[in-house]
Amino acid sequence: MSLGADGLRVLAAGGVGDNVVIGRVTAVVGRMVFVFPGRGSQWVGMARELMGGSPVFAARMDECGQVLELFTNWRLADVLGDVDVLRRTEVVQPVLWAVVVSLAAVWQSLGVVPDAVLGHFQGEVAAAVVAGALLLGEGACVVALRAGTLGVLAGRGGMTSLVLSARGARALIGPGLSVATVDGPSSVVVAGAPGVLAVLEALAGEREVRARRLPGSCAPAECTDQDEGRGGGSAA
């Protein structure tokens, strides 16, 4: 089935349209992997529509909220629409963890069950919960306490995403910067002081390399080549 937003609304109403193509899968080839992202994917009001339309999602979000309250001083349901609060490291990371754990529950309820999981920063913790390596409360503890610690240290550095290979990025960056994560063959994140990142972004523009400053900040402990040191786990 292939459809855009308009086609989805038509299909949900029981109709058909020119931009709706429906087919049947006769066989599943290969194995299923869930990949849980790091921060930077959030927006104000995310998950609210699903909480109203998906009982499975809403129930899992409620469970996540209950265990997060043991380690935080805010309520999950209260911060989803607060743009200022979602900018805070100690809030946005646990929120994103709860959202992706709940999305995984929705997919699994529909019969889409992963054969393997992997993740990126708080996505690593989500992957561990979905795999059963951590209980939900244990995952909440890890993500909330880690985010709280980083929140205290935040503001000393920033991150910029580059559409560039790791080798190309290392050739482009100067002193005071490091490749923090390697997200793909042509996708890396560089970390460092905000002023130095601004110079990098200007240089990238001159060389027609796409660069984007990521929301939030990073602590000094994050501004390192963690993807190499951790065998694929990354912090961004």
Q: pLDDT tens digits for 153-167?
A: 666 788 899 999 999
- Residue 88 pLDDT > 60, yes or no? yes
Q: Same domain, yes or no, for 55 and 134?
A: yes
Domain count across the chain: 2
Q: Same domain, yes or no, for 166 and 148?
A: no
pLDDT at 216: 63
Whether 24 maps to a domain, the answer reads no
Whether 6 maps to a domain, the answer reads no
Q: Same domain, yes or no, for 97 and 64?
A: yes
Out of 74-83, 194-203, 221-230, give the one with best mean pLDDT. 194-203
First to last CA, the chain: 33
CA–CA gap between residue 23 and residue 128 (Å, rounded): 34
Whether 54 maps to a domain, the answer reads yes
CATH of the domain at 199: 3.30.70.250
Whether 183 maps to a domain, the answer reads yes
Radius of gyration of the chain (CA): 20
Contacts of residue 178, defined as CB under 8 A and 6 or more positions apart, other chains included, come to 190, 191, 192, 223, 224, 225
Domain span at residue 127 reads 29-153
Out of 16-30, 105-119, 206-220, give the one with best mean pLDDT. 105-119
pLDDT digits over 181-225, tens only?
888 899 999 999 888 999 999 999 999 999 999 866 664 444 443
CA–CA gap between residue 166 and residue 118 (Å, rounded): 20
Question: Hey, what amino acid is at 235?
Answer: A
Q: Same domain, yes or no, for 110 and 195?
A: no
pLDDT at 37: 86
pLDDT digits over 136-152, tens only?
999 999 999 998 887 77
- Coil vs helix vs strand at 208: coil
Which residues is 20 bridged to in the sheet? 3
Q: Same domain, yes or no, for 193 and 127?
A: no
Q: Same domain, yes or no, for 187 and 73?
A: no
Whether 222 maps to a domain, the answer reads no
CA–CA gap between residue 163 and residue 154 (Å, rounded): 25
What is the DSSP annotation of 85-150?
Answer: GGGSHHHHHHHHHHHHHHHHHHHHHTT---SEEEESTHHHHHHHHHHTSS-HHHHHHHHHHHHHHH
Q: How many CA atoms lie within 13 A of 80 on its CB side?
A: 16
Q: Same domain, yes or no, for 79 and 133?
A: yes
Could you tell me how many residues make up the chain?
236
Neighbours of 53 (CB within 10 A): 10
CA angle 126, 130, 135 (to 5 degrees): 85
Q: Same domain, yes or no, for 102 and 133?
A: yes
CA–CA gap between residue 179 and residue 21 (Å, rounded): 42
Q: Same domain, yes or no, for 187 and 120?
A: no
Backbone angles phi, psi at 22, to 5 degrees: -115, 135
Neighbours of 15 (CB within 10 A): 10
Share of the chain above pLDDT 70, in %: 82
Q: Same domain, yes or no, for 75 and 134?
A: yes
CA–CA gap between residue 19 and residue 22 (Å, rounded): 10
Whether 17 maps to a domain, the answer reads no
Largest CA distance in the chain: 59
Task: Compute the Cα dihedral for 3, 4, 9, 10 and give only its sign.
Answer: negative
CATH of the domain at 45: 3.40.366.10
Give mean pLDDT, residues 47-53: 87
Q: Same domain, yes or no, for 128 and 49?
A: yes
Whether 229 maps to a domain, the answer reads no
Among 9-13, 54-58, 111-115, 135-139, name the one with the lowest average pLDDT. 9-13
Whether 68 maps to a domain, the answer reads yes
Average pLDDT, the chain: 83
- Residue 132 pLDDT > 60, yes or no? yes
Q: Same domain, yes or no, for 164 and 90?
A: no
Contact 235, 181 (CB under 8 A): yes
